[in-house]
């Protein structure tokens, strides 16, 4: 075990473009369904739907948050619709599975998506059994990362001491509230378009692959 992380008892991971490669392109499929949903909701064309979608994402943190605030939509209906995508672009990750299995401490997924979708993705990757709990957008009271409220609810819900916790996320901005709480922060700089470039003292380390990084932490491959 890498001594730099010996104090970590709780390992918290973002899901999309973090536990699987951004190159898988799942968000392309989700974006398409978001656009279609907004077109039906507003009775508009694709260009206007795209404008509304990106406006809400940049203004409110997620498209869902904006649609709830400005259009009063049912979050369950929206999440079920936009996440109804095939997962054939995601493949089992044996390296990640092996590393998580050997990683000491509790493991969590902290996502702006919902639990049913997250579980589907974790099953597709082959790592669902190695996570203790999942904290989704419902559990964050529909206040998405990087809103600090969801981080506080996560810690309270599972009695997480931030001083002994780590968050890995592909979006650098999502690490700032975690660092403010006292967590160790890992920026997964894997080419995600949504990730942006990470700067600032709220990022403790930068990696490109979670599976490769965890493999190094737990001491390399183990096929037993």
Checking 134-137 for CB contacts under 8 A at 24+ apart, the result is: 134/108, 134/109, 135/108, 135/109, 135/110, 135/111, 136/111, 136/112, 137/62, 137/64, 137/75, 137/79, 137/111, 137/112, 137/113
Domain boundaries, the chain: 3-21+91-218, 26-82
pLDDT in tens, the chain (224 residues): 888 999 999 999 999 999 999 899 998 999 999 999 999 999 999 999 999 999 998 888 789 999 999 999 999 999 999 999 999 999 999 999 999 999 999 999 999 999 999 999 999 999 999 999 999 999 999 999 999 999 999 999 999 999 999 999 999 999 999 999 999 999 999 876 554 555 678 999 999 999 999 999 998 655 44
**Domain 3-21+91-218, CATH:** 3.40.50.1000
φ, ψ (nearest 5 deg) of residue 208: -110, -25
Model pLDDT, residue 223: 44
pTM recorded for the entire structure: 0.92
What is each CA distance from 115 to 15, 27, 136, 170, 186, in whole angstroms? 11, 16, 6, 19, 23
Domain 26-82 has CATH 1.10.150: yes
Residue 124 is predicted with a pLDDT of: 97
């Amino acid at each position: 075990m890498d001594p730099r992380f010996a104090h970590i008892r709780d390992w918290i991971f973002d899901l999309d473009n973090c536990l699987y490669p951004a190159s898988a392109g799942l968000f392309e499929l989700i974006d398409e369904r978001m656009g279609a949903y907004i077109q039906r909701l507003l009775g508009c064309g694709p260009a206007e739907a795209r404008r509304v979608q990106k406006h809400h994402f940049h203004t409110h943190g997620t498209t869902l948050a904006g649609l709830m605030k400005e259009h009063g939509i049912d979050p369950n209906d929206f999440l079920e619709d936009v996440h109804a995508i095939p997962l054939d672009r995601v493949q089992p990750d044996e390296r990640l599975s092996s590393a998580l299995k050997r990683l000491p401490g509790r493991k969590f997924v902290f996502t702006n998506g919902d639990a049913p979708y997250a579980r589907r993705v974790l099953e597709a990757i082959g790592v669902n059994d190695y996570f203790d709990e999942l904290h989704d957008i419902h559990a964050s009271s529909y206040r998405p990362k990087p809103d600090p409220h969801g981080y506080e609810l996560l810690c309270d819900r599972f009695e997480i001491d931030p001083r002994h916790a780590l968050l890995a996320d592909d979006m650098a901005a999502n690490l700032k509230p975690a660092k403010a709480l006292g967590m160790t922060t890992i920026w997964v700089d894997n080419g995600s378009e949504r990730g942006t470039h990470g700067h600032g003292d709220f990022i403790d380390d930068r990696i490109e692959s979670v599976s490769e990084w965890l493999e190094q932490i737990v001491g390399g491959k183990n096929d037993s």
